[in-house]
Structure 1
Amino acid sequence: MINKRLTYLLLSAFSIVYVFPVFWVVISSFKDKNELYQWPPTLFPSNFTFENFRVAFGTGNFGLYFWNSLFVTFISTLLLLLINSMAGFALAKYRFRGGTFLLILFISTLMIPIEVIMIPIFKVISKLGLYNSLWGIIIPPAATPTGVFLMRQFLLTVPNDLLEAARIDGAGEWKIYWRIILPIAKPILAVLAIFSFMWRWDDFLWPLIVLSDPAKYTVQLAISNFIGQYDVDWGSLLAMTVVTMIPVLVVFLAFQKYFVQGMVTSGMKG
């Protein structure tokens, strides 16, 4: 009993340490600028204000930036789910020469730092005429080795007899994929959707490289405009940071019932 209480105490302490920076960002976004620079700092704002949010939204066209981010994130996530589910289905349920080698090749790419392949990808994007285009952000990460691996691990748990029964009933491979595989794979698809949404929504470096037109900026690039050469508008920066947390939180809450199930059955057990 004592060990159980000690475990809960330690877990609670670690949770507080992990959550406190997020709490600090949220609560500080409602402080006025004088209080933000006050020392010693205050935990809660003495004068609760929305001024930072008003200034942040009045500084730039954040409606356009949010639309750009939502478009990129939504389309990227759809493409990732489609391509990774197809690849995972093929690697899990079809036997062909070189399949194991192909899987190892997929996984081995995880060891390559993204910075190493940015220049080749950028050259390809430029040749295709996708530079300074939102599609230049969407297409490169449309398939990920992590997603393919998780899909394969999950689909290995699907009985082959189920697919054979569908084939005997006259179902084609596309119908099996659409009517059987995708509904069964909802838990792992939810996991990938959360990861993809988070990765694409928070991505800063690749949009910074691909985009040069401010009208096509994503919200993360727009937030960087609050950081000047000699000054940082911390109030607006904190306010917009809080706003950008909301979509990711909403997506996670929407798919959380599938999250644990997908993690357990896809080979990511703790």
Structure 2
Amino acid sequence: MATHARHRPDAGLVASVAKYTLLGLLSVVFLAPFYVIVRNSLMTEDQVTSLDWSWWPDPLTLGNYTDLFTDPSLPFAHALRNSLLIAVITAPLSTMTGSMAGYALARLDVPFRRAVTVFVVGTLMIPASVTFVPTFLVIDALGGVDTQWGIIAPGLFNAFSVVLFRSFYLRFPPDLEEAGRIDGLGHLGVYLRIVLPNSITMIASLGALSFIESWNAFLWPLVVGQDPSSWTAQIALSTFLTSQTINLPGLFAGGVVTIVPLALMFLVAQRFIVQGITASGLKD
């Protein structure tokens, strides 16, 4: 009986093997589309549209990638720079405005603070399609069409960031703020010297999410950036697949190039994203 018990598999080991096996299978399913994109980006048009499946292109070609940056009719390199510029400006500015607004709603004792909070939360329930036309009319009246700032400006205030930062600052230790006030700091000094340095996790988390959202934006940059000089990478990609032209290998190659910054951002910031959402608490 004792011998049989010694050879019985440990329940914890079995559970671990099952868990990692399941995670491995899910990883394969998750990575399969990326494999197909990379594979197709190294193929010719005939290979991509062929009914015969192949695990890897034979022969392999890098011409789709060189064509991305040498085709004079498609300013793809310029579009990549535009996307990077928009994302790099939008991410920190929208994160900082969300942090300041969230701190004000959490800590400043001002009239109608709760009403403003309810209003901000209420804006999250309004579909973007409802505010799209009014926003465009405002940007157009200000001369922002076909400009970088016209694409950037509407994304500088993010109600979702405000709500998360407010929830985070409601849980922030008040003793630290009191220590700052004893040293003679006002609200701004406490925020800049004490609160902000201790909010790095939330700032990194929401900054990464804002970068990803700005990089992937399509409809607003398409409408505002009507001139090719204002195109972003996502708009440039859409030109590969139109009613007049279909360039699947070029589309896949462009997809790989535009995915790389997002993959790097996610690999660097994934820990902060999880910690930031956890730290926010999402409650009063």
Under TM normalisation by the shorter chain, which class is it?
over 0.9
**CA deviation string 1:38-68 (max 9, x = no partner):** 2132222222221110122222222221111
Residue 28 (structure 2) aligns with? 16
Q: Which amino acid aligns with 1:13?
A: L
Residue 225 (structure 2) aligns with? 211
User: Which one is further off, 131-140 or 35-44?
Assistant: 35-44
Aligned partner of 2:236 among 222, 229, 234: 222
The 3-state SS of whatever aligns with 2:168 is helix
Q: Which amino acid aligns with 1:183?
A: P
Conserved? CA contact 1:77–1:196, under 8 Å: yes
Aligned partner of 1:138 among 152, 164, 187: 152
**CA deviation string 1:140-163 (max 9, x = no partner):** 111111111111122222111111
1:25 Cα deviation after fit? 0.8
1:94 Cα deviation after fit? 2.1
TM-score when scaled to structure 2? 0.88
User: Which one is further off, 93-102 or 106-115?
Assistant: 93-102
- Trace 1:143-182 onto structure 2 (pairs within 5 A): 143-182=157-196
Aligned partner of 1:30 among 27, 42, 56: 42
Extract unaligned runs of 5+ from structure 1: none
The 3-state SS of whatever aligns with 2:242 is coil
- Trace 1:30-49 onto structure 2 (pairs within 5 A): 30-49=42-61
Q: Which amino acid aligns with 2:239?
A: N
Residue 6 (structure 2) aligns with? none
Structure showing greater Rg: 2
Q: Which amino acid aligns with 1:62?
A: F
Conserved? CA contact 1:93–1:160, under 8 Å: no
Cα RMSD, aligned residues only: 1.9
Q: Which amino acid aligns with 1:101?
A: A
1:78 Cα deviation after fit? 2.0
User: Which one is further off, 41-50 or 145-154?
Assistant: 41-50
Aligned partner of 2:109 among 95, 106, 113: 95
Q: How far apart in 2 are the matches of 1:116 and 1:50? A: 44
Conserved? CA contact 2:206–2:273, under 8 Å: no
Q: How far apart in 1 are the matches of 2:41 and 2:230? A: 26
1:129 and 2:143 matched: yes
Extract unaligned runs of 5+ from structure 2: 1-10
Q: How far apart in 2 are the matches of 1:268 and 1:57? A: 45
TM-score when scaled to structure 1? 0.92
The size of the alignment, in residue pairs, is: 269
Conserved? CA contact 1:56–1:237, under 8 Å: no
1:219 Cα deviation after fit? 1.2
Conserved? CA contact 2:45–2:249, under 8 Å: yes
1:4 Cα deviation after fit? 4.7
Q: How far apart in 2 are the matches of 1:107 and 1:249? A: 30
The 3-state SS of whatever aligns with 1:226 is coil
Overall identity of the aligned pairs, in %:
35
Aligned partner of 1:58 among 70, 77, 80: 70
1:187 and 2:187 matched: no
**CA deviation string 1:174-214 (max 9, x = no partner):** 22222212211111111111111111111110011112211
